[in-house]
Structure 1
């Protein structure tokens, strides 16, 4: 009889802990900047996510693959059903953008609590027209 009660208690504990935990769901895991012009775009983008679990979601760490991309994370836990944001600031160096941001959390629905976010696109220099070229085109008209 003791074994039966012990088994039932163990079973109840197992069922009560099943499915519990924080879960992270991103609106999108890749942001495409497209083609942007240096000096006309701030380089700031936001990854939005929701805690779809039933306990507080803690973003423990957010890091980038290089110093040209600076991420920032929420400082407070995200409660179940609430949304959070991870801001990413790219320094807008001309050329292709292909960077990864690793998010470390207590989420149980992703392997080891890790999610990899990506930014991509192309930064171009602002084309400045030479004043001499402008004068030549006006004179030729």
Structure 2
């Protein structure tokens, strides 16, 4: 079954656009503007990460074994994805998962910085996943 990757592509594109805006304006003195841009990055990171998880699961269930992802932890999911060359760094994906879990608890600038930093890194890793999903989309 060929996976329609459009929603994953769109979520990665949205993350990339918000990061580009952040990079353009992050030295701006307007705190409200910067907070709004950071909020956009965090929201787009959440969506892109969730889409990535769904597509990892779908690909593994379709191409390895039906329901292979049923009942496994995220870390086990990442290990399976790495074993099948969808991702290349299990521990980094665990950090992304942890950052995603923090997004509902962003009350301090330190937590916000941590999530933003992971979101900035995630762009590269999500593009890697997308390329490997495209290359192996049967």
- TM-score, length-scaled by structure 2: 0.27
Higher Rg of the two aligned structures: 1
Q: In proportion to residue count, which structure has more strand?
A: 1
Does 1 or 2 have the higher relative contact order (CA < 8 Å, sep 6+)? 2
